[in-house]
Amino acid sequence: MKLTAFVPFLLCTLLSAGPLSNKELNWYFVQHGQSISAPKEASQFIDKYNVYYVGDQSKKQIFLTFDEGYENGYTAKILDVLKENKVPAAFFVVKPYIKQNPDLIKRMEAEGHLVCNHSSTHPSMASVTDPTKFNKEFDDVNEEYKKLVGKDIPKFFRPPMGKFSESSLQKTQEKGYKTVFWSFAYRDWLVDNQPTHIFAKNKILGKAHSGEIMLLHAVSKTNTEILDDIIKELKNQGYEFKSLNDLP
């Protein structure tokens, strides 16, 4: 192709590509037996942006994660159970949680858990299109964590409410973070409408799968009370609990 023809061709190609979409999407996963896949709306681009929602599906490993929007009095007990069972976990925290619970953050870090970024103000990251505001959602959390423990926060990010866009995933990657969704979650965050122990155990154990990234909410009284039983039963089934640092 002659250069005079190539230049408008290249320009046309770039224009047709356009900016990445800011369309807000909601995370969910598709499970076919033991196989987990991403939502169809994101399947064409999600693998480009350091996104994790499941680990190695050929290994009986579980990655235990907790979201911490606020403290409901249960995290210390959760940490006790994790310590007793020698299980690592990741706690995704917002900036106010760090400020209001410094002793818990220090304990998480001291006991080998990952304290990870869940944004400063818990917005839909797809809605934060201003670059300065987007960066601030990450940086404010990191600064608060670094002020407390003396080092940068681990570079794992969970989008609040599971809301994202292709653009937000790219910008998250550009900041050096891995996006961590999940391959299991259930309705455990309603503090005034907690599931029964039997329901929760059946749900969690019945959906266990290789490479699982398990999302639990630490505000849940039920989760706290059944956690020891859940961990022991999953270990009995041959599952090993791993750190997000061990993701492939």
Instruction: Indicate which residues carry an active-site annotation.
Output: 67, 217
| Strand ranges inside 108-211, DSSP E | 114-117, 156-157, 163-164, 178-180
Instruction: Choose among 189, 133, 121, 124: nearest CA to 161.
Output: 124
Closest CA to 210 of 17, 28, 35, 32: 35
Do 218 and 72 meet the contact criterion of CB atoms below 8 Å apart? Answer: yes
Within 10 A of 146 (CB to CB), how many other CB atoms are there?
12
Q: Which is it for strands 114-117 and 90-93: parallel, antiparallel or unpaired?
A: parallel
Per DSSP, which regions of the chain are E strands? Answer: 25-26, 30-32, 35-37, 51-52, 61-68, 90-93, 114-117, 156-157, 163-164, 178-180, 212-217, 240-242
